[in-house]
């Protein structure tokens, strides 16, 4: 697979993930055409920026405003970033978790996903973080940024005084 095709596939996967989140959280159902149009827009914008080789500072992360899509913010030079997500089909007690590890250039270092029986999204989101951290350490990276869309897990991880839900207590202790 060429680098250009790999990048295009990455935009397709990312926009499918965005469409899934739009459906789950905002009840906004994107059509196939919507996804394809968004992929084309992002891919073309990426190629324009890439062709100019713009240097981008590392801005502080700010939450997107209503109607905006989140933008991936690169970590500092000596840090790798782990983005995680988990999905859950409650009536099937089944879901998937995954993570992607990238460096300051956005270059892919490792990505993994698996489908798994689950009974709680918070449990699988914490598990995805733990697996991502373990894999990053296995690649000999020790300065890590972790990003997740699960506010409860991220609050517990970033605040020592936070009460840890029982169902993820052991996973959080392993992460720390």
Question: Residue 74: inside a domain, yes or no?
Answer: no
In this structure, the dihedral spanned by the alpha carbons of residues 40, 81, 127 and 110, taken in order and rounded to 10 degrees, is 70
Question: Residue 160: inside a domain, yes or no?
Answer: yes
Question: Are 9 and 93 found together in one domain?
Answer: no
> Residue 58: its pLDDT value, please?
37
The whole domain housing 27 covers 3-52
Question: Are 131 and 91 found together in one domain?
Answer: yes
> Residue 174: its pLDDT value, please?
86
Q: Is residue 86 left, alpha or beta, with left meaning phi > 0 and alpha meaning psi from -120 to 50?
A: beta
Q: Band the pLDDT of 28: cuts 50, 70, 90.
A: confident
> Residue 65: its pLDDT value, please?
55
Question: Residue 39: inside a domain, yes or no?
Answer: yes
* Cα separation of the two ends of the chain: 38
Q: Band the pLDDT of 40: cuts 50, 70, 90.
A: confident
Instruction: Specify the number of domains making up the chain.
Output: 2
pLDDT, tens only, 78-88: 899 999 988 87
Q: Band the pLDDT of 55: cuts 50, 70, 90.
A: very low
The pTM for the full model equals: 0.60
Question: Are 84 and 169 found together in one domain?
Answer: yes
CA distance 111 to 127: 15
Question: Residue 58: inside a domain, yes or no?
Answer: no
Question: Are 88 and 166 found together in one domain?
Answer: yes
Question: Residue 92: inside a domain, yes or no?
Answer: yes
């Amino acid at each position: 697979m060429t680098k250009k095709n790999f990048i295009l596939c990455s935009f397709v996967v990312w926009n499918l993930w965005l469409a899934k989140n739009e459906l789950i959280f905002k009840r906004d159902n994107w059509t196939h055409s919507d996804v394809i149009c968004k992929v084309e827009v992002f891919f073309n914008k990426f190629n324009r920026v890439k062709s100019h080789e713009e240097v981008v500072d590392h801005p502080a992360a700010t939450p997107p405003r209503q109607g905006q899509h989140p933008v991936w913010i690169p970590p500092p030079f000596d840090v790798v970033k782990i983005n995680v997500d988990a999905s859950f089909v409650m009536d099937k007690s089944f879901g998937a978790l995954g993570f992607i590890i990238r460096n300051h250039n956005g270059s892919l270092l490792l990505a993994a996903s698996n489908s798994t029986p689950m009974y709680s999204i918070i449990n699988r989101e914490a598990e995805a973080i733990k697996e991502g951290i373990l894999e990053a350490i296995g690649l000999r990276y020790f300065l890590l940024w972790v990003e997740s869309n699960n506010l409860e897990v991220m609050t517990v991880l970033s605040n020592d005084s936070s009460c840890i839900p029982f169902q993820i207590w052991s996973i959080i202790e392993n992460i720390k």
